[in-house]
Amino acid sequence: MRPMTPPPPRLRRSLAVLAAGATALAGVLTAGAPAQAQDDAITVYLASDSTVQTYDPYYEPQAGWGQVLDRYFDENVTIANHAIGGRSSRSFVEQGRLDAILDEIQPGDYLFVQFGHNDATVSVPERYTSPEDYKTYLRDHYIAGAIEKGAVPVLVTPVSRRSFNADTGEFNTSFPEYVEKVYELHEETGVAMVDLSASSRAYLNEIGPEEAKSVFLHVPAGVYPNRPNGTADDTHFQEYGAIQMARLVAEETATLGLPLSDHVVDVAPPADVPAAPTGVTAATVANASITLNWADQDDADIYRVYVREPGGEWRLGTTSTAGVGRVAGLAEETAYEFAVTAVNGKGESAYSDTLAVATATAGFKFDFGPASQTVAPGYTEVNRGTVYDADKGYGFTTDMTSAIDRDRGNAEDPLGSDFVAWFGGSYDFAVDVADGLYSARVFVGDYLGSARTNVAFEGVGYGAANAGSKSILAKDFEGIVVEDGQLNVNITGQTGHLNGLELTRIGDAPGSGDGPDEPCADCAEQIESLDRAPVAVAVDGGNFLSWRSLANDPEGLAFNVYRDGRLITPEPTQLTNLTDQGGTANATYWVATVADGVETGYTAAFEVWDDQFIDIDMERPEGGTTPDGVAYTYAPTDATTADLDGDGVFELVQKWDPSNAKDNSHNGYTGNVYVDAYTLSGELLWRVDLGRNIRAGAHYTQLVAYDLDSDGRAEVALKTADGTVDGVGTVIGDPDADYRNETGRILDGPEFLTIFNGQTGAAMETVDFSPERGDICQWGDCYGNRGDRLMAAVAYLDGVHPSLITNRGIYAKTEITAWNWDGDNLPQLWSFSSDSWGGAYTGQGNHQMSVADTDGDGRDEIVFGAMTINDDGTPLYSTGLGHGDALHVSDFDPSNEGLEIFSPFECMSCSGNRAGAFRDADTGDVLWSIPGTRDTGRGACGDIDPAYPGAECWAASATGAWNSREGELHAADGTLISTSIPSANSMIWWDGDLGREIFDHEFDEPNYVPIYPFIAEWDPETGTQSEIFTPEGVQTSNGTKGNPVLTADLLGDWREEVILRKESNDGVRLFTTTIASDYALPTLMNDPQYRLAVSWQNVSYNQPPWPSYFLGYDMATPEYQTVTYGPARDAADAPYAAASCSVDYDVVADWGSGFVVQIKVTNTGDTAIGEWDLAWRSGGVESVLHAWGGDIAADGDAMVADPAFWNFPLKPGHTKQIGFQGTGDPHDPGMFLMNGQVCAAASRECRSPPGVRALRRPGPRFVRGA
């Protein structure tokens, strides 16, 4: 016997009370005189195991009777449930759990104690407690501890399991030795007892073993997200069963004569029995089972499914607590009739309409055993030497040398008599089949012993198939999806027995049809019509300029660049950037397009930025205080961009999050979320207040700004609720509604999806949000962690028009809805639910949703983590690798046809211990992977090493830490380059080469504040990264995630800009590169995949955008996607016409505190100029003290000269002089305008652009420097 653990000191004192033995104790408690009993404010403490504990809603429908006991007591009784799974009477004490109760319990409270289930577990030493020790622990610890605190102990006998005599159907007494010890203590001490063993057994005998499945945790596959393959558990309860057990406890408590007994309340039964169920259909038909669906009813507790052979007697086939039930144990190729009833506390409904269905025939039957076995009739022999080959179409794909086989010689059961097995091993069996949905029946057992086997199909675990001693188990599995022409079975377990296998095709595979999607004919995505977004930045020795090339520019298009009206490119350039070494801070530029030597269009004039950033000042919302007294302030966090007003220039749609924004897993109120629209110059266009019924956090509000109806102006789509105020002040729904619960969460109330006018912020259409919340528990928990994980995106599902995509759920149940906005209406296009497609599509989502044409048919798919949904809303495939935190999709490996996907994974058991995987985007096939043993949240890709073709990808797999530089860095072909890795945060095209740079941040984890952001470059030689740009006055957002507000190709050439929040939190700062590049590509925003990625970049865990083609070192000319947009934004005329004049501007004196400027204006034309004025940039001029030759004054940021009358007219070839004296800095006057036209000025030098060569191919071009 295991030595007794010494009791805690507290209980040693109590043992003194018990020293006189049972006789003395018997007088301590009597039914009528509990210690200091009180009539109100009673707390009932529960000390027990998993049959009593309160379960997280994720485990639905599992429940313990302790979590529902309160429904049977009045408001004066509080239930404090301390029960916890896996504990025995001994381990509960040793772990200090009883001490925790005794620290709280007060005189007059009650301590209910039920143990025995785990005490009897001899195989688990830390739990096992012999019956005698069990009695001692109950007496010396629980009873004595309660008495010492003046509380009332109540012993509860162990609740029954679903264990019965197969011949009689009578239930067995569970743990009889432990029940007996509770009886003895009750008799010896007089402590009150609830005989739950007897009452639960009587109840179960009343309803019978089959209906008892609805009491215990027997649930079919596909009903509950956390149990995709179903559960068959004869110990634990589902909620219905927990309620029945709690009722039995309460009913017996009412008879004990304790003060608590008076607080037991009757729960009135419903007024009526439920109506007969309707809508009974056969969901799947297998060879030995049939799954039925019917309409769920709110007033039903359980359903009974009856079955009979035609003309026979009805018998109970199964029970269920939901509108689905599977009747198993049926004969093959046999006709049956089914009916369903609904049951509640009032009684049973009438039968539903009868449904007649015949079982199917198994398409494949295999009998496993030694080579000398007797094969069961109708079965195909399989022995350890049956190796798979394509001609046979079946066989082992694992070397079975280490396995065993046996034949127990039972001639009456040739299928069950023999088997193959592999103790503690793992082996695979493959069968070539048609794609589709399959059911399987697995036979497991051993006539000389027991068998413990685990089964997986198509890489998805379906649980255990365990047979008791000297028996054979036949277990059915459904929802097996085959999409590659082969069904794979994996067998593991303690013994790994496999006697027989039957496979039946029960339906089409997800997404099956007539074959691969036909390519979209003449597909061309409709995108916004952009201008060339030119930008000029002052740099050392001049100005850096860049501008856009557009996807539909004609081949050979080149550019002329003008400074202050003077052409500064010696010849048209095909590059889209240059450094103007003669440029000054006050220069004015424009760019002209040149086709066949003729200027065909012009940008607007643009001026020079003082630095490589512009500030976008914003109107920061006022902070506030939540109902629980928490103060909060606001910061600009995520943003997206779109052309809201149709002028070809991007605006910014900015989200303001309060400082108390919450992750879904955390309770707490939050401030409101605001969404603003700003021009890049800082003009506030509108503000939307999402209101109190939208919680703040990364997963609640996703910004979608896109031209959804292709009218040239973008709309904004947001999830809204009662109390949302649109951009013109109109309230959506009920302005007074407040659905926040006591934890600050919003789990009730309507949810809306609103389309806002991009120019005004006015709500144009509001519909019910989908996927709808429904019962929040169906998403994997009941407190909103999993049910409020919301994503959004835009996709070209038809290859032409953009569709809005919304989502709910990533960890368990997953749903996606597609919408089409036509300018007036917002109908749903399709919806996807993982419930409809089996366990392979459950729990595969990510914290972001990428969009790409993965199958090359011209229409976009939804890449949602480890699964991909086709353009029509049906699954394309699921890899089954599970959920992850990062996702990258592009043509990372040009040698592999199509696109690739790289992502890290959170669940190692789901991913097969892959920390990250690089896979084919069309098929989902894993091309290579990174091994791992822990949640790996960070992974990235980018062409950072020119020595290897394609892009490199890496994951922080060594420690899993967000800032780890240890992991694995791989080339596109899977070659392991290094175990030192770059930051795995984000990427940006910033410098002049084609490789991608690293965006990350330094972070102070102890104080949880950012230090500074940076852009870095990877050095392949040293295996380290070095910072090449560290912006000042700005910070990242979202904690260790270190997100910028936005990264995208917003301005200038194809390189990307980065927007970061200002440290003052009153706006953002946009940075652009000033590094020259010898490469030119069309703006990345003209690539639909990249444009869509910018749209969804803000969603949840932000990711960098990727184009549809490989962009990196040694890239070939891409095959750009065909797009359509409106007329070119290039103006037909230059922003300023050339005047027939020249200006000589001369600072003749500058003594620091003043200056003198002499200006000579010459008519270079053939005709006289009558009245004229002259304007130029005021620059640093502060004041004009004196002028001659006319009036000269500052007008805003310009100087304007209005010459005296004697300077008119200005004849051809003649020169007039004017001048002025002033203070400030008169230098760098910039461009001169006479009567609004440009006068020629002294020439300034400009570095000639390098020679270029074009990689010629029909269509748009990729230009590379010579």
The DSSP result for 875-898, as a single string, is EEEE-----BS--EEE---TTSSS
SS3 readout for 1065-1109: CCEEEEECCCCCCCEECCCHHHCHHHHHHHHHCCCCCCCCCCCCC
Helix residue spans in 390-498 (DSSP H): 414-417
List the end-to-end C-alpha distance of the chain, in Å, as a whole number. Answer: 87
Report d(CA 616, CA 1050) in Å as an integer: 14
Please check whether residue 1090 lies inside any domain of the structure: no
Question: What backbone phi and psi angles, to 5 degrees, belong to 809?
Answer: 95, 130
- Looking up residue 208, the CATH number of its domain turns out to be 3.40.50.1110
Please check whether residue 602 lies inside any domain of the structure: yes
Token reading at 819: 């919408």
Residue range 1024-1066, pLDDT digits in tens: 999 999 999 999 999 999 999 999 999 999 999 999 999 999 9
Q: Are 649 and 641 in contact (CB under 8 A)?
A: no
Token reading at 251: 């009913």
Please check whether residue 626 lies inside any domain of the structure: no
Please check whether residue 969 lies inside any domain of the structure: no
Check residue 1042 and give its pLDDT: 94
Please check whether residue 459 lies inside any domain of the structure: yes
Residue type, 1265: G
Residue range 386-409, pLDDT digits in tens: 999 999 999 999 999 999 999 999
- The closest alpha carbon to 544, from 507, 578, 510, belongs to 578
Token reading at 715: 């709309």
Check residue 126 and give its pLDDT: 85
Query: Do 542 and 589 reside in the same domain of the chain?
Result: yes
- The closest alpha carbon to 492, from 431, 440, 422, belongs to 422
Query: Do 502 and 574 reside in the same domain of the chain?
Result: no
Q: Show which of 739, 769, 799 is a domain's final residue.
A: 769
Query: Do 1162 and 1205 reside in the same domain of the chain?
Result: yes
Query: Do 66 and 144 reside in the same domain of the chain?
Result: yes
Report d(CA 419, CA 317) in Å as an integer: 30
For tokens 């089972």, what's the residue?
Answer: 289
Check residue 459 and give its pLDDT: 83
**Which DSSP state fits 104?**
H
The contacts of residue 268 (CB under 8 Å, 6+ apart) are none
Q: Are 752 and 790 in contact (CB under 8 A)?
A: no
Query: Do 668 and 641 reside in the same domain of the chain?
Result: yes
Query: Do 388 and 299 reside in the same domain of the chain?
Result: no
Query: Do 546 and 589 reside in the same domain of the chain?
Result: yes
Residue 519 half-sphere exposure, CB side, CA atoms within 13 Å?
Answer: 5
Residue range 637-687, pLDDT digits in tens: 999 999 999 999 999 999 999 999 999 889 999 999 999 999 999 999 999
Provide the 3-class DSSP secondary structure of residue 1030. coil
The contacts of residue 1233 (CB under 8 Å, 6+ apart) are 1136, 1139, 1174, 1175, 1176, 1239
Chain-centroid distance of CA 217 in Å reads 29
Q: Are 889 and 1105 in contact (CB under 8 A)?
A: no
For tokens 């007591």, what's the residue?
Answer: 73
State the total domains in the chain. 6
Report d(CA 172, CA 167) in Å as an integer: 12
Query: Do 81 and 213 reside in the same domain of the chain?
Result: yes
The contacts of residue 723 (CB under 8 Å, 6+ apart) are 691, 692, 693, 731, 732, 733, 734, 735, 736, 737, 738
Q: Show which of 705, 737, 769 is a domain's final residue.
A: 769
Element (H, E) at 196: helix 196-211
Query: Do 64 and 173 reside in the same domain of the chain?
Result: yes
Q: Show which of 302, 330, 358 is a domain's final residue.
A: 358
Check residue 511 and give its pLDDT: 52
- Looking up residue 1151, the CATH number of its domain turns out to be 2.60.40.290
Query: Do 330 and 410 reside in the same domain of the chain?
Result: no
- Looking up residue 313, the CATH number of its domain turns out to be 2.60.40.10
Residue type, 489: V
Count of other CB atoms within 10 angstroms of residue 1197: 12
Token reading at 903: 């992502």
- ∠ Cα 744 745 750 (to 5°): 130
Query: Do 245 and 138 reside in the same domain of the chain?
Result: yes
Q: Are 973 and 895 in contact (CB under 8 A)?
A: yes
Please check whether residue 1162 lies inside any domain of the structure: yes
Check residue 328 and give its pLDDT: 85
Token reading at 332: 């093959």
- The closest alpha carbon to 942, from 897, 890, 895, belongs to 890
Token reading at 399: 């070397």
Q: Are 1173 and 1201 in contact (CB under 8 A)?
A: yes
Token reading at 1080: 């030119």
Residues of the chain with pLDDT below 50 are 1-39, 513-514, 1242-1261, 1266
Check residue 437 and give its pLDDT: 85
Query: Do 72 and 100 reside in the same domain of the chain?
Result: yes
- ∠ Cα 66 72 75 (to 5°): 100
Instruction: Write the DSSP string, 894-962.
Output: TTSSS-EEEEE-S-HHHHTSEEEEEEETTT--EEEEEE-SS----EEEE---TTSSS-EEEE-TTT--T
The contacts of residue 958 (CB under 8 Å, 6+ apart) are 964, 966, 967, 979
Q: Are 9 and 38 in contact (CB under 8 A)?
A: no
State whether the Cα torsion 911-916-922-925 is positive or negative.
negative
Please check whether residue 545 lies inside any domain of the structure: yes
Check residue 1264 and give its pLDDT: 53
**Which residues on neighbouring strands pair with residue 964, listed in sequence order?**
none
Measured in residues, the chain has a length of 1266
Element (H, E) at 1201: strand 1198-1203
Report d(CA 519, CA 858) in Å as an integer: 6
As a dihedral over the C-alpha atoms of residue 453, residue 457, residue 461, residue 463, rounded to 10 degrees, the angle is: -40
Please check whether residue 1123 lies inside any domain of the structure: no
pTM score, whole prediction: 0.68
The sheet carrying 62-63 orders its strands as 62-63, 231-238, 216-219
* Structural domain containing residue 165: 43-263
Provide the 3-class DSSP secondary structure of residue 461. strand
